[in-house]
Amino acid sequence: MAADRVGIALVGAGFLARTRARCYAKAAGVQVEIAAVTAASRASAEAFATAHAVTRIADDYQDLLQDPSVDAVDLCVPNHLHAPMCVAAAAAGKHVICTKPLTAYVGQDLPADAAEDAAGAQPRGAMLASVHQECEQMVAACAAAGVQLMYGENWIYAPAVQRAQGLLAKAGGSLLEMRGWESHSGSHSAYARRWKYTGGGALLRLGAHPVGAMLYLKDCEGRARNGQPILPVAVSAEVADLSRNPALDEGDRFLAGGWHDVENWGTVVITFADGSRGVANGSDNMLGGMESKLELLGSRAHLKCNLSPNDQLQAYAPVTGTFGDGYIMEKVHGDAGWTTPIPDEDWSSGQSAMCQDFALALAQGRPALSSGELGAQVTRLIYAAYLAAEQGRRVQLD
């Protein structure tokens, strides 16, 4: 029997948590209550609670897990916290929503005083083995506890991607080639600059989106054809920190800099079992706002998904500040000239539909479209790509 209320606790109070709160507030068919919030600082949790009418602030994550009004925890926290928080939530009988990546290698096997600088220097093969083990641990912990592990990949919920998948299903044939990328001018989070906190750079932070969409679409194609997913079987890759180009000077610093031991550009070529290919890119070297795109080349169709920017609305302003504090789109820092103010970025990016699906999955006791298994597959593939880049060779996937 479906529940008429779902209580979700947000862990974190930053940009992602605010996005989630907006989207849960729009959910239809079930009442979604932000039952509690906890964050690294009491002040940020209090500000979030005031802005989103949350009545309970938890000082401690473990205390939050004992709250009977909480059905699920949404982990909007740095990557290195995903695995331990997921396992603890499952043990407490709470469903888990985990943003991408599902987990990351951050020097878990190193002495605490060495991990800060040594995590990013570890062999990529050891990293792959570590995340493989943690992914299995997270999925198994939730399965054993009888709770869901939902993976926060909004791209597969984006209206453009969902419409493209439907058209491909109608067209039939084979999806032969996929090209996808997410790019912008760089994260300004201190966490993003160090392997110790993110477990990787642009390929993991940004490239995980097109990778997830590609795996989803080939899964759909295979299941429609013969009931079996078409899986990735090999990867090759390159990564680099392009901000280290010696030609750059301080006048070029419109892009985020200061990357410590992570890449700000990465590309992976994915080979699927049917011989098709996907090329996914993540980059912190693009001015002019965030660009999220996926191009699909099939034997019977060619589709282009423009998640961001899109031209539903175009605006011209003669000088900066014309629109006051009006929001344009993510990573656009000014409104002068022609811009593309996205009417509803949560909708076009898939965030709203994803939160809607998660809420209904919890209420109805059914699986969500984006599962922990997909998150595990994406994470393992990207770390195999890091191994391929390190060794300069093609890496076979299990």
Q: 59-100: per-residue pLDDT in tens?
A: 889 999 999 999 999 999 989 899 999 999 999 999 999 999
Predicted pLDDT at 1: 39
Query: Which has more pLDDT, 250 or 386?
Result: 386
Q: What's the token pair of residue 76? A: 């909007």
- Asked whether residue 325 carries a pLDDT value surpassing 90, the answer given is no
Across the range 118-126, mean pLDDT stands at: 96
Chosen domain end from 91, 118, 153: 153
Predicted pLDDT at 202: 98
Cis-peptide, bond into residue 123, ω within 30° of zero: no
Question: Tokens 């795109």 sit at which residue?
Answer: 293
Across the range 236-247, mean pLDDT stands at: 94
Tally the residues of the chain: 398
Across the range 249-255, mean pLDDT stands at: 76
Counted domains in the chain: 2
Q: Verify that 69 and 193 share a domain, yes or no.
A: no
Count Cβ atoms below 10 Å from residue 371 Cβ, excluding itself: 18
- Asked whether residue 149 carries a pLDDT value surpassing 80, the answer given is yes
Q: Is 63 helix (H, G, I), strand (E, B) or coil?
A: helix
Beta bridge partners of 33: 7
- Asked whether residue 150 carries a pLDDT value surpassing 50, the answer given is yes
Predicted pLDDT at 221: 98
Residue numbers of the domain that contains 31: 5-153
Task: Establish if 229 belongs to a structural domain.
Answer: yes
Task: Establish if 358 belongs to a structural domain.
Answer: no
Q: Is 24 exposed, middle or buried (0-12, 13-18, 19+ CB in 10 A)?
A: buried
Predicted pLDDT at 252: 67
CATH (domain of 20): 3.40.50.720
Q: Verify that 88 and 220 share a domain, yes or no.
A: no
Task: Establish if 375 belongs to a structural domain.
Answer: no
- Average pLDDT over the chain, rounded to an integer: 94
Dihedral of the alpha carbons of 210, 216, 221, 226, in degrees to the nearest 10: 150
Q: Compute the distance between CA of residue 262 and CA of residue 41 in angstroms, rounded to an integer.
A: 26
CB 355 within 8 A of CB 20: yes
Q: Is 309 exposed, middle or buried (0-12, 13-18, 19+ CB in 10 A)?
A: buried
CATH (domain of 159): 3.30.360.10
Q: Verify that 279 and 192 share a domain, yes or no.
A: yes
Q: Verify that 126 and 159 share a domain, yes or no.
A: no
Chosen domain end from 153, 184, 211: 153
Chosen domain end from 130, 153, 176: 153
Q: Model-level pTM?
A: 0.94
- Can you state the angle between helices 42-52 and 15-25, rounded to 10 degrees? 20
Task: Establish if 263 belongs to a structural domain.
Answer: yes
